[in-house]
Amino acid sequence: MTMHMLRHAPMAALLVLLPALASAQEQPVPAATQPSLARTIVAHGISTFGAPELPADYKHLRYVNPEAPKGGEISEWAMGGFDSYNPFTHRGRAGSLSVIMLERLMEDALDERGSSYCLVCETIEYPESRDWVIFHLRPEAKFSDGTPLTAHDVLFSFELLRDKGLSSYRTGIAKMVAKAEVIDAHKIKFIFQQGYPRRDVIQQVGSQIVFSREDFRKNKRDIEQSSDKPYLGSGPYVFDSAEMGRSMTVKRNPDYWGKDLPINVGRHNFDKIRLEYFGDYDSAFEAFKAGVYTFRNEVSSIHWATRYDFPALKAGTVKQEVLPRGDIATGQAWVFNLRRPKFQDIRVREAIGLVFNFEWSNETLFYGLNTRVNSFWDNSDLAATGKPSEAELALLQPLAKDLPPSVLTDDAVIQPVAGKTQLDRGNLRKASKLLDEAGWVVGPDGLRRNGKGEVLKLEILNDNQSFDRIINPYVQNLRALGIDAVNARVDDAEMTNRTRSHDFDMVTDSLGQSFYISGGTEQVFGSENTSDVFNPMGLANPAIDALIKKGIEATTQEEMDTTIHALDRSLRALRFWVPQWYKATYTLAYYDIFGHPENMPAYALGELDFWWYDADKAEKLKQSGALR
């Protein structure tokens, strides 16, 4: 299991303001207080297309339990280790809870697509053109040390990330924001670049994290360097304790300024959240059985199918639960490093993909629990299917010279289906023919070489012991094809260093996308970001760039959906990945001390957000000796 940083790249597109926005959810600003003569809107939230679903006087988010009790601890596990509390730099390995104490100006609802609601801000003010936005901050907002959170902190945070953040973020924000300026202690204005699409610019700047300017000054922080000092934030949790590299705990701040806000009712219920790190998957599982931590989102099919038979489960101390998963699949795949000449030929990439036998793996290794990844928008209606529609063709035909011809004529690429034996002979023959045509010919020793006599080598970088049983059969198939393939086992520190420096042939990554084409899409697939970790394959294709730009400029849901379908089929046709698998459910195991709402939101599990601790159940387990 790999934990990924959330991508919040500041990119957006033009949105035609719908009349529904001028309802009870917003109020025109009197002319005397307007910063310009144009009519402005004051609102508690905003949505990509249309209005947000919750009214201005909402009492709580629809999916929470407003009566959820506070207390107790939830603990989970993570792979590897950490040596820093700063995830905003490529230096060091940041702990996964390092930013939980930092808040954003606005927050997304987990049961809506594209809606953001005020959190640190009380209202947003903007013209119908969305050329600018003013965030009216809550006067009561403060950091956990009691100092007020002001517009000066927001400006400081914006300028810090704009000037010293990760490169793809800097690029995106420079394109979008022309200027940010403090109006007074509780008002900050963002002015957007002339000609830049306006669709979700407000949500993008609203997703900005807010640092304490004084904390940076006092602690002489450098966002470009690894740090052994946890951040000071304004959020519901503060740093509690850590054993560097092994565990980290945060605790709920009883003086949290925003605990009674409607957006926070029923949330942030645990007194403590603890994360335990382990060097391998089996050690983590054994620790769970022993009660070292209490909540597990099981991603290993073999564990789920064969190893949940330990005494605590049989006694009812630990429960298993399967919950539906409505978010877009993770897009987990082995990704080629296109920076390397041997992978420039699409026939080589297709041949390597042909000999991964998902069907055999799913039946033999995964107990039939997984579904093959085919799309970057799997588990949603946004995945491209069949041949392109007329609307898609209108987008694709002008870009044809930079795409495989099949994009315009054939069904969207589906990964090859294989037989029930590990090595599918039919797919092996197809792969052999592709490599022969690409000039990689089998020599007397059974290995393929090009015209220069170079052996076709393939190193699959792997830092997860549990993946050995999946990669090793794949390596055997690749070697049968004449490729000098190896499963390169490394520790998490080497994995971090080598992926950041693009020193790999193929590595597992997650390329699943969101419901809208935005800056996050550009970070992963855009030509400007080939040097960034978010574009692991180094993809640089003018047609892809053009489709991303078109998606950023989409002004209706229909236009967005059509562009995503065209982009999805184009990306799939480039074959820079060997897709793996996903589950459309959460398979959970946890000590029977937690509760969750009956009606879960569509797009998140949210165990650290809106689940809660059942003190009565916990006390019974403690009295029985089943819980530490």
H-assigned helices in 255-383: 281-289, 301-306, 311-314, 346-354, 358-364
Q: What is the pLDDT at residue 10?
A: 28
Q: What is the pLDDT at residue 12?
A: 28
Q: What is the pLDDT at residue 4?
A: 31
Q: Decide if 85 contacts 238 (C-beta within 8 A).
A: no
Dist. CA 173–CA 163, nearest whole Å? 10
Q: What is the pLDDT at residue 38?
A: 67
Q: What is the pLDDT at residue 14?
A: 25
pLDDT less than 70: residues of the chain: 1-38
Residue 243's CB is within 10 A of a number of other CB atoms, namely 10
Which of these, 339, 334, 351, lies nearest to 482 by C-alpha position?
Answer: 351
Dist. CA 74–CA 293, nearest whole Å? 8
Q: What is the pLDDT of residues 218-265, one digit of tens each?
A: 999 999 999 999 999 999 999 999 999 999 999 999 999 999 999 999
Q: Decide if 510 contacts 1 (C-beta within 8 A).
A: no
Which of these, 618, 415, 531, lies nearest to 170 by C-alpha position?
Answer: 531
pTM score of the predicted model:
0.85
- Bridge partners of 84, per DSSP, are 94
DSSP 148: B
Q: Decide if 578 contacts 356 (C-beta within 8 A).
A: yes
Dist. CA 192–CA 190, nearest whole Å? 6
Q: What is the pLDDT at residue 27?
A: 40
Q: What is the pLDDT at residue 171?
A: 82
Burial class (CB in 10 A: 0-12, 13-18, 19+), 623: exposed
CATH fold, domain 332-582, is: Dipeptide-binding Protein; domain 3 (3.10.105)
Written in H, E and C, the secondary structure of 103-124 is CECEEECCCCCCEEEECCEEEE
Q: Decide if 403 contacts 570 (C-beta within 8 A).
A: yes
Q: What is the pLDDT at residue 212?
A: 98
Dist. CA 518–CA 201, nearest whole Å? 10
Which two three-digit tokens encode residue 355? Answer: 């000999």
Q: Decide if 133 contacts 154 (C-beta within 8 A).
A: no
Each domain of the chain, given as residue ranges in start order, spans: 332-582
Tell me phi and psi for residue 24, to 5 degrees. Answer: -65, -10
Tell me phi and psi for residue 397, to 5 degrees. Answer: -60, -40
**Sequence letter at residue 80:** G
Q: Decide if 115 contacts 108 (C-beta within 8 A).
A: yes
Dist. CA 168–CA 164, nearest whole Å? 11
**E-only strand ranges, 497-610:** 506-510, 577-579, 581-582, 585-591, 594-595
Q: What is the pLDDT at residue 143?
A: 98
